[in-house]
Structure 1
């Protein structure tokens, strides 16, 4: 499929989604105004062909209300959720928007995601075809790299602008996670295949995790007291899918169920004095310990 054709599908999905319901006439006017149409209207047959392709590719049904002749996204097939399809749609939709910026491109600044162009395609291919991947790994915690690492990739995850692959380290027979931008000499072993164990559930593996540190400890009930200003940010962009909020006059209490990891401690610390850990006690202790270590760096040398 050409990139141009995919962009047309994405434009159609995104436009109908934003309007909720829209007539074909209105849709066609917007289409002619968009940069991907070259100023040409969309023929009726082409529109129906795009509808069918979108349903096949994305499992998204574009339905028509016979009483208003408006088209809408069927809510039962709506894939705008935390899923691979959602990520692809959002990324492609953003690409469509940015492709039309033209003369203001020097006023738009984006974050670089180096791991998206370093080995992502190769690892996705290995993931899809169940091939192991070998590489040299350069961990930040050691001076020397680890050559000859072989991993059976189980799943991919993006966290803080970095892609990570999690799978079974063949030599150690352990489930481990690796950052794609710390890999070199990547080689897909396409003459070898593997099978993911029947009892391995990737959703369950990451459900109670924050970030990419997948602890095997039991998940804890976490309560954070957050001032009303910071609460607005957490409300708009939850820290974790388990987030629940209890609103008070000048603050909110956010509840989570997750495993306690260094990634989560760092996230709490990044929020500064606007957030206080109420429970559990072990998380309070982890945060206090980290704060004391930080304060010690600023104390005068005796």
Structure 2
């Protein structure tokens, strides 16, 4: 699969193709990729000044970077927070400043980036949500979209009918997965678990009230 780094290499080497290849643009944060990669490789702690989307002010603290992940046009770093003593996810576009330190950290042999995100839809790894079987009914030609671009690696088409199909997933139904389901509008209906069906239905009702 051709990734963003390969595309950028092609563009840099062939100027005449630059206006004919239109990769997705990332809002910001790419300038931090190299120092993060170097810190992961050298096992060196980073000091960052960070302001989350829901925070009124920024904070400066240290992180121990474990891996980088791209999701929906944003770069994220999974890093251990020494303060909280756990792995947290930081969006690179929310980093205001970054500097490498000489403070070493030990990369845990038990941490495997792919396995860490396996049960998650995007970048929200919230263990407060159990890994569950999710069943959805997809209507009409939208089934073709799900077949060609699965939402998650656990996706399976358990039933196929003339005007709909049943797709199942095994993951943590976190906020970002909820948003992905809602993005398909009335082409997708959640069947189970019941609590997730109710949650999606309640969200749709609130959305409908905005247009009444």
Instruction: Provide the TM-score with structure 1 as the length reference.
Output: 0.64
**SS at structure 2 position matched to 1:164:** strand
Offset at residue 98 of structure 1 (A): 8.2
User: For the residues of structure 2 that align with 1:207 and 1:108, how far apart are their CA atoms?
Assistant: 31
Q: How does 1:68-217 map to 2 (within 5 A)?
A: 87=3, 91-93=5-7, 95-96=9-10, 100=14, 102=16, 105=19, 109-115=22-28, 117-146=30-59, 148-189=60-101, 191-216=102-127, 217=129
User: For the residues of structure 2 that align with 1:188 and 1:249, how far apart are their CA atoms?
Assistant: 57
Q: Deviations over 1:79-106 (max 9, x none)?
A: x5xxxxx63xx6415742786573882x
User: For the residues of structure 1 that align with 2:190 and 2:134, how far apart are their CA atoms?
Assistant: 8
Offset at residue 282 of structure 1 (A): 1.8
Equivalent residue number for residue 176 of structure 2: 263
Q: Deviations over 1:263-302 (max 9, x none)?
A: 0000000000001111111211221121122122223xxx
Equivalent residue number for residue 196 of structure 2: 283
Q: 5+ unaligned residues in a row in structure 2: which ranges? A: none
Equivalent residue number for residue 227 of structure 1: 139
Which has a greater percent of helix? 1
**SS at structure 2 position matched to 1:268:** helix
Structure 1 segments of 4+ aligned residues over 6 angstroms from their partners: none
Change (3 A) 1:91 1:199: closer
Instruction: Provide the TM-score with structure 2 as the length reference.
Output: 0.89
Conserved? CA contact 1:165–1:177, under 8 Å: yes
User: For the residues of structure 2 that align with 1:96 and 1:247, how far apart are their CA atoms?
Assistant: 41
Q: Deviations over 1:34-65 (max 9, x none)?
A: xxxxxxxxxxxxxxxxxxxxxxxxxxxxxxxx
| Higher CA-based Rg | 1
Q: How does 1:54-69 map to 2 (within 5 A)?
A: none
User: For the residues of structure 1 that align with 2:8 and 2:147, how far apart are their CA atoms?
Assistant: 23
Greater RCO, CA 8 A, separation 6+: 2
Aligned length: 210
Conserved? CA contact 2:30–2:92, under 8 Å: no
Change (3 A) 1:97 1:166: closer
User: For the residues of structure 2 that align with 1:155 and 1:103, how far apart are their CA atoms?
Assistant: 31
User: For the residues of structure 2 that align with 1:98 and 1:224, how far apart are their CA atoms?
Assistant: 43
Offset at residue 197 of structure 1 (A): 3.0
Which has a greater percent of strand? 2
